[in-house]
């Protein structure tokens, strides 16, 4: 998903205005990388947006010049207000140590609220936004690849039988190659998408040259006129026009990979002009074909594919191949985003530990989560088989996107007012305008719930249940553990006098550093010994993206051979306890011989039973998730031959 070397440069890209300017070559390289990763979803929207707006079987828009101009104006101003103003200019300012995305924005917003109740509700809102992203991660690959493969029917109508099999074959290959990583081919993403946007712009210019009048749609009066002329139809059509915005949230989500400035340069310098030109070119083609045909024969039905009909029939196959490649790149970016979001959720305590495989030795962000990959693959496969065409899937596509955009606005408003202390009048005016637009977009897509909009909503609700159940279960188990816990400091004196000491170092993993680790108590109970050196180790995940090495390890000497160690990670760091111990040895002078060190880990099992604090079915779900979670040993990269795992049962 990432381009080489982006981590360091991306941090400088989001630096303050007074920071040194980024070298031109580096800026250009990052901008090209952003074109390939950030704008894949937005870039493939021309495949189906105007087709859905004008040729949807569920609504009929008369092919009059005024209607075509009005709808082109709506698409242009939606791109301008939502993508250019809201995301590129405003929300990209909300960088959390250079990182973006719903999790990073939620972490910023939580700093602006004071009471636990406010934090709880705000967290629920933010997590629902993350859940909506998972819904989008299922629909994006399905609708993008299907829409590209439907170009086969434009080559030859008899090829329609191959549309769904070819889409399933491409999607299967896409998910199967995730295991090996995309580092080798990701360097091609930028150039391929640059070519894709060049083709979009060139096709648009060609058709605009036959009817320059479509450029008048840049005037917002055409959009306003359409809303006034068709008040009932406008909301329905807006739900289709919103497909032009799918992928807009990637500008903010991928800020940590490229930086705000390269993302803005890519958008204003290459992507937006190409998209606008292509949409207007399709509009000119619709005016030329359907408007003229309708004027001659009002009863005639106009059938066309406004994207693929832009090229002569001889060029159809190359365009289908290029479109298929572009949709694969767009899908890859969404899948990689799902991996990243899942890892953040794990480290913030909203998802159980899962196996995380790094597919690149040079690039931190290239990861692979098998559980997430095969879950997405199964659901995408089912969705393609169930909906069978991009027209059917388009109804399901918009709700997850508009819902996530609305949640971004909610979180950003809290950051602007509560954390940055913006001028209240100015903040309310700007954020209020975004709220009005977001609510209109959500309303326009909500009416499509019966036709397929229920799908991302169902997925989001399921993900939300899983995430809140895991978080609630962990919190309740921590409370239960605290009721029977013994304070660490007073226990050390008694243990040091009475227990037999053996050679070596024991590291006891604990979730509460000031209390006696359960594993230590079990070890004393069963083995009746203590090691010469005992380290109570607590791993703390903070609500910031990255914790620097200077803050990574904190050690306190408790005396009598006991040490308390706190290892800190951000939600973008990779936990690695052996590396942390090496860092401790280098910076604090405490040596760890891994062949003479034993790790003691507690494995607590929840026994479901009647409780006023959590329902039995959620207890059972939590127990199921806990049983299938990756072990702490593997997640923290502790050598398995040095681990002793001690179990205990907990009843709520």
For the chain, the structural domain boundaries read 6-15+22-471, 486-650
In this predicted structure, what is the pLDDT of residue 185?
A: 63
Asked if residue 442 lies in contact with residue 402, where contact means CB atoms within 8 angstroms, the answer is yes
Confidence of residue 264 (pLDDT cuts 50, 70, 90): very high
Segment 57-66 shows an average pLDDT of 79
Q: Which of 137-146, 277-286, 393-402 has the lowest mean pLDDT?
A: 393-402
**Strand 597-606 to 500-510 pairing:** parallel
Confidence of residue 318 (pLDDT cuts 50, 70, 90): very high
In this predicted structure, what is the pLDDT of residue 18?
A: 39
* In the predicted structure, residue 184 carries a pLDDT above the cut 70: no
Asked if residue 59 lies in contact with residue 236, where contact means CB atoms within 8 angstroms, the answer is yes
* In the predicted structure, residue 590 carries a pLDDT above the cut 80: no
Confidence of residue 86 (pLDDT cuts 50, 70, 90): very high
* In the predicted structure, residue 11 carries a pLDDT above the cut 70: no
In this predicted structure, what is the pLDDT of residue 22?
A: 67
* In the predicted structure, residue 297 carries a pLDDT above the cut 80: no
* In the predicted structure, residue 356 carries a pLDDT above the cut 60: yes
3-state secondary structure of 498: helix
Segment 309-330 shows an average pLDDT of 91
Contacts of 399 by beta carbon, 8 Å cutoff, 6+ apart:
442, 445, 446, 448, 449, 453, 456, 457
Cβ neighbours of 649 (radius 10 Å): 8
Q: Which of 205-219, 280-294, 580-594 has the lowest mean pLDDT?
A: 580-594
In this predicted structure, what is the pLDDT of residue 7?
A: 38
Q: Which of 136-150, 151-165, 359-373 has the lowest mean pLDDT?
A: 359-373
In this predicted structure, what is the pLDDT of residue 183?
A: 60
Confidence of residue 136 (pLDDT cuts 50, 70, 90): confident
For tokens 């950030």, what's the residue?
38
* In the predicted structure, residue 390 carries a pLDDT above the cut 60: yes
Q: Which of 113-117, 182-186, 287-291 has the lowest mean pLDDT?
A: 182-186
* In the predicted structure, residue 325 carries a pLDDT above the cut 80: yes
Segment 581-600 shows an average pLDDT of 82
Q: pTM value?
A: 0.84
How distant, in Å, are the alpha carbons of 44, 536, 567, 577 from that of 539? Answer: 42, 10, 5, 9
CATH number, span 6-15+22-471 = 1.20.1740.10
* In the predicted structure, residue 545 carries a pLDDT above the cut 90: no
Segment 22-27 shows an average pLDDT of 79
In this predicted structure, what is the pLDDT of residue 88?
A: 93
User: What's the chain's average pLDDT?
Assistant: 85
Q: Which of 71-80, 352-361, 461-470 has the lowest mean pLDDT?
A: 352-361
Q: Alpha helices of 79-216 — where are they, by DSSP H?
A: 102-110, 116-149, 152-155, 163-176, 183-186, 189-208
Asked if residue 570 lies in contact with residue 547, where contact means CB atoms within 8 angstroms, the answer is yes
Segment 6-33 shows an average pLDDT of 58
Q: Which helix (H) or strand (E) holds 368?
A: strand 367-368
- 397-441 residue pLDDT tens: 788 889 999 999 999 999 998 888 888 888 888 888 999 999 999
Distance in angstroms (rounded) separating the CA atoms of residues 238 and 227: 10
Measuring CA to CA, which residue among 625, 613, 599, 602 is closest to residue 651? Answer: 613
Measuring CA to CA, which residue among 100, 403, 109 is closest to residue 252? Answer: 100
- DSSP secondary-structure letter at 574? P
For tokens 């010049």, what's the residue?
65
Distance in angstroms (rounded) separating the CA atoms of residues 396 and 48: 13
Confidence of residue 223 (pLDDT cuts 50, 70, 90): very high
Ranked by mean pLDDT, which of 197-201, 339-343, 551-555 comes out on top?
197-201
* In the predicted structure, residue 497 carries a pLDDT above the cut 70: no
Cβ neighbours of 623 (radius 10 Å): 15
Q: Alpha helices of 242-315 — where are they, by DSSP H?
A: 250-253, 255-258, 260-266, 272-286, 292-296
Contacts of 25 by beta carbon, 8 Å cutoff, 6+ apart:
none
User: Left, alpha or beta for 77 (phi > 0: left; psi -120 to 50: alpha)?
Assistant: alpha
C-alpha 394 chain-centroid distance: 20
**Per-residue b or e along 481-516, where b marks 16 or more CB atoms closer than 10 Å to that residue's CB:** beeebeebeebbeebbeebeeeeebbbbbbbebebb
Q: Which of 8-17, 130-139, 308-317, 391-400 has the lowest mean pLDDT?
A: 8-17
* In the predicted structure, residue 493 carries a pLDDT above the cut 70: yes
Confidence of residue 5 (pLDDT cuts 50, 70, 90): very low
Distance in angstroms (rounded) separating the CA atoms of residues 329 and 343: 21
Number of helices followed by number of strands (H, E) in the chain: 28, 8
Q: Which residue has the higher pLDDT, 527 or 172?
A: 172
Cβ neighbours of 648 (radius 10 Å): 13
Distance in angstroms (rounded) separating the CA atoms of residues 447 and 234: 12
In this predicted structure, what is the pLDDT of residue 209?
A: 94
Q: Which residue has the higher pLDDT, 276 or 246?
A: 276
In this predicted structure, what is the pLDDT of residue 13?
A: 35
């Amino acid at each position: 998903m990432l381009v080489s070397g982006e981590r360091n440069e991306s941090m400088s890209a989001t630096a303050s205005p007074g920071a040194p300017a980024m070298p031109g070559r580096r800026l250009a390289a990052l901008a090209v990388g952003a074109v390939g990763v950030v704008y894949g979803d937005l870039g493939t929207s021309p495949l189906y947006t105007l087709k859905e707006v004008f040729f949807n079987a569920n609504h009929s828009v008369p092919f009059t010049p005024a209607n075509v101009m009005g709808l082109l104006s709506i698409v242009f101003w939606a791109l301008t207000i939502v993508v250019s103003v809201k995301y590129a200019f405003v929300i990209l300012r909300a960088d959390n140590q250079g990182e973006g995305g719903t999790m990073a924005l939620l972490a910023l917003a939580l700093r602006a609220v004071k009471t636990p109740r406010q934090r709880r509700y705000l967290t629920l809102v933010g997590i629902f936004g993350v859940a909506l992203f998972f819904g989008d991660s299922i629909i994006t690959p399905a609708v993008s690849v299907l829409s590209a493969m439907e170009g086969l029917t434009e080559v030859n109508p008899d090829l329609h039988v191959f549309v769904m099999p070819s889409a399933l074959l491409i999607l299967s290959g896409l998910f199967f190659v995730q295991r090996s990583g995309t580092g080798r081919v990701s360097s091609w993403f930028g150039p391929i998408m640059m070519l894709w946007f060049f083709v979009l712009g060139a096709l648009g210019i060609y058709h605009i040259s036959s009817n320059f009048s479509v450029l008048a749609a840049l005037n917002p009066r055409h959009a306003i006129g359409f809303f006034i002329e068709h008040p009932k139809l406008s909301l329905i059509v807006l739900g289709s026009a919103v497909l032009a915005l799918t992928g807009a949230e990637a500008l903010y989500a991928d800020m940590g990979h490229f930086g705000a400035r390269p993302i803005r340069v890519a958008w204003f310098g290459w992507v937006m002009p190409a998209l606008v030109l292509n949409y207007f070119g399709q509009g000119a083609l619709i005016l030329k074909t359907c408007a003229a045909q309708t004027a001659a024969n009002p009863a005639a039905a106009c059938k066309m594919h406004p994207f693929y009909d832009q090229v002569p029939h001889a060029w159809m196959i190359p365009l289908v191949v290029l479109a298929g490649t572009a949709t694969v790149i767009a899908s890859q970016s969404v899948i990689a985003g799902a991996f990243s979001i899942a890892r953040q959720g794990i480290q913030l305590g909203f998802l159980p530990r899962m196996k995380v495989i790094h597919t690149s030795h040079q690039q931190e962000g290239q990861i692979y989560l098998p559980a997430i990959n095969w879950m997405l693959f199964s659901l995408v496969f089912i969705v393609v088989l169930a909906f069978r065409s991009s027209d059917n899937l388009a109804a399901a596509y918009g709700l997850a996107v508009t819902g996530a955009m609305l949640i971004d606005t909610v979180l950003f408003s809290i950051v602007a007012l509560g954390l940055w202390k913006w001028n209240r009048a100015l903040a309310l005016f700007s954020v209020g305008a975004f709220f009005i637009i977001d609510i209109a977009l959500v309303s326009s897509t909500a009416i499509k719930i019966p036709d397929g909009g229920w799908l991302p909503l169902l997925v989001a609700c399921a993900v939300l249940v899983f995430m809140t159940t895991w978080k609630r279960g962990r919190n309740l188990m921590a409370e239960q553990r605290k009721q029977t816990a013994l304070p660490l400091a007073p226990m050390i004196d008694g243990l040091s006098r009475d227990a037999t000491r053996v050679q070596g170092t024991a590291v006891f993993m604990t979730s509460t550093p000031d209390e006696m680790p359960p594993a230590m108590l079990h070890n004393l109970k069963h083995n009746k010994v203590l090691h010469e050196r005992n380290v109570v180790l607590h791993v703390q995940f903070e609500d910031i993206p990255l914790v620097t090495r200077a803050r990574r390890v904190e050690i306190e000497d408790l005396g009598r051979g006991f040490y308390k160690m706190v290892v800190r990670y951000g939600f973008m760091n990779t936990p690695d306890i052996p590396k942390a111990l090496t860092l401790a040895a280098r910076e604090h002078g405490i040596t760890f011989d891994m062949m003479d060190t034993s790790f003691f880990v507690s494995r607590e099992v929840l026994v479901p039973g009647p409780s006023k604090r959590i329902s039995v079915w959620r207890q059972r779900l939590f127990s199921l998730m806990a049983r299938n979670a990756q072990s702490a040993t593997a997640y923290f990269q502790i050598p398995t031959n040095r681990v002793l795992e001690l179990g205990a049962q907990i009843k709520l």
